[in-house]
Amino acid sequence: MKRICVVVASRANYGRVKSVMKAIKKHPNLDLILIVGASALLDRFGNITKIIEDDGFKIHRSIHYVIEGENLTTQAKSTGLGIIELATAFQDLKPDAVITVADRFETMATAIAATYLNIPLIHLQGGEISGNIDDRVRHSITKLADVHFVATELSAKRVIKMGENPKYVFNFGCPSIDVLIGQNLEINSAIMKNQLGAGIPLNWKRPYILMLQHPVTTSFGEGFEQVTETLNALKAIPNFQKLVMWPNIDAGSDDVSKGIRHFREYNMSEPIYYYKNFTPENFARVLKNATCCVGNSSSFIREGSFLGVPAVLVGDRQKDREHGENIVFSEYNTKEIVKKIKSIIKVGYFKQDKLFGDGSAGEKIADKIYQLNFSEIK
């Protein structure tokens, strides 16, 4: 049995690796070792341990390594603490390989701990370009990783061009698409009744706009203003309910949260409901059934292109990212955001785009992991 360790270190991580975890767990020759850490454990950012356990996964270690402060220094230091803590866990759990996802500071901590412990490192979602500091981190992790499961053809080419062995670069699509396949993505109050939030509850039979906007590390300190522009745009669009999600933990998420709290305090009567997190499936439902999305979440590009949901991407967090036709971009500017939302709503839903895969990534990845000869890799 190969022991494959997955580190889920944020709410966003989970949706992107869940189908891989499922396939590993099901595989007769693989053992799933699960570490949950960092913001994935924090109530403020939507503690997802319950969701993970309800999905039937056993958590082997829960590790706190977020140094509170949400600024640039604490982000660096949380990475350092994460390395220290994950090194302990890897030493105890002795996995045959470690899977890390995407480009966040927790991902970097996982990558470095595994590298220095001589444990083969498997990276998901390498080779993408978003146009900000995440690119540096993502590519840096690519150069530490031994095996790459990328999400698009273009990403595969970039990873190989960076010097990685093509023998270990595989494009099976993004596991986040798998969640959209083979299940009822209808939304209604019965299904959503356990998803707690705050504000004016939504009537799921009526149209709503979904907002999710994260801080941008390279413009640290501007998150309050940035999110306020978007929130004011929501307010300026009548006849729609709105669903607002709180941001991920990141340098600056405190600013964005403050912007949302401040807006909420003065707009209690607006038809807005505020959520911290969803199960991956419920997030898929919320996304699929939105009339339009607004903010800067990469899910609008990734899952959004597959679902064909129109989305207005605000600011430059995703400016260079490969995307489908469902996306338009806007500056941080209430007027422009309003205009772009109104015009894309008129267009309506887009055709399914398989740019990020066809929904079969999880099983293909697990199977390939089983076939890999780790002793040859490291």
Query: Which CB atom, from 164 or from 303, has the smaller least distance to its own copies?
Result: 164
Query: Which CB atom, from 169 or from 179, has the smaller least distance to its own copies?
Result: 169
- Give the closest residue to 372 by CA, choosing from 112, 122, 118: 122
Within 13 Å of residue 364, how many CA atoms lie on the same side as its CB? 18
- Contact between 51 and 75 under an 8 Å Cβ cutoff? The reply is no
Spatial CB neighbours of 18, under 8 Å, sequence gap ≥ 6: 55, 175, 178, 179, 280, 362
Task: Say if residue 51 is exposed, middle or buried (CB neighbours under 10 Å; 0-12, 13-18, 19+).
Answer: buried
The site for its own copies (CB under 8 A) is made up of: 41-44, 61, 63-69, 71-77, 79-85, 87-88, 91-92, 105, 108-109, 112-113, 115-118, 133, 136-137, 139-144, 158, 161-163, 198, 217-218, 220, 251, 254, 258, 265, 268, 378
For residue 312, give the H/E element and its range. strand 311-314
- Give the closest residue to 216 by CA, choosing from 316, 327, 330: 316
Supply the minimum distance, in Å, between the C-beta of residue 129 and its own copies: 9
Query: Which CB atom, from 112 or from 177, has the smaller least distance to its own copies?
Result: 112
As given in the structure block, the two tokens for residue 347 are: 């267009």
Please name the residue that has the structure tokens 């909420």: 264
Supply the minimum distance, in Å, between the C-beta of residue 229 and its own copies: 21
Query: Which CB atom, from 112 or from 301, has the smaller least distance to its own copies?
Result: 112
Query: Which CB atom, from 40 or from 231, has the smaller least distance to its own copies?
Result: 40
Rounded distance between C-alpha atoms, residue 209 and residue 242, angstroms: 5
Supply the minimum distance, in Å, between the C-beta of residue 138 and its own copies: 9
- Contact between 295 and 226 under an 8 Å Cβ cutoff? The reply is no
Rounded distance between C-alpha atoms, residue 78 and residue 370, angstroms: 32
Query: Which CB atom, from 164 or from 178, has the smaller least distance to its own copies?
Result: 164
Supply the minimum distance, in Å, between the C-beta of residue 336 and its own copies: 26
Supply the minimum distance, in Å, between the C-beta of residue 112 and its own copies: 6
Rounded distance between C-alpha atoms, residue 312 and residue 303, angstroms: 14
Supply the minimum distance, in Å, between the C-beta of residue 211 and its own copies: 20
Query: Which CB atom, from 101 or from 233, has the smaller least distance to its own copies?
Result: 101
Query: Which CB atom, from 30 or from 216, has the smaller least distance to its own copies?
Result: 216
Rounded distance between C-alpha atoms, residue 118 and residue 134, angstroms: 25
Supply the minimum distance, in Å, between the C-beta of residue 74 and its own copies: 5
Supply the minimum distance, in Å, between the C-beta of residue 44 and its own copies: 8
Supply the minimum distance, in Å, between the C-beta of residue 364 and its own copies: 25
Query: Which CB atom, from 265 or from 376, has the smaller least distance to its own copies?
Result: 265
Task: Say if residue 365 is exposed, middle or buried (CB neighbours under 10 Å; 0-12, 13-18, 19+).
Answer: buried
Supply the minimum distance, in Å, between the C-beta of residue 61 and its own copies: 8
Query: Which CB atom, from 41 or from 311, has the smaller least distance to its own copies?
Result: 41
- Contact between 99 and 7 under an 8 Å Cβ cutoff? The reply is yes
Task: Using the CB atoms, write b or e for 69-94: b if 16+ within 10 Å.
Answer: ebbeebbebbbebbbebbbebbeeee
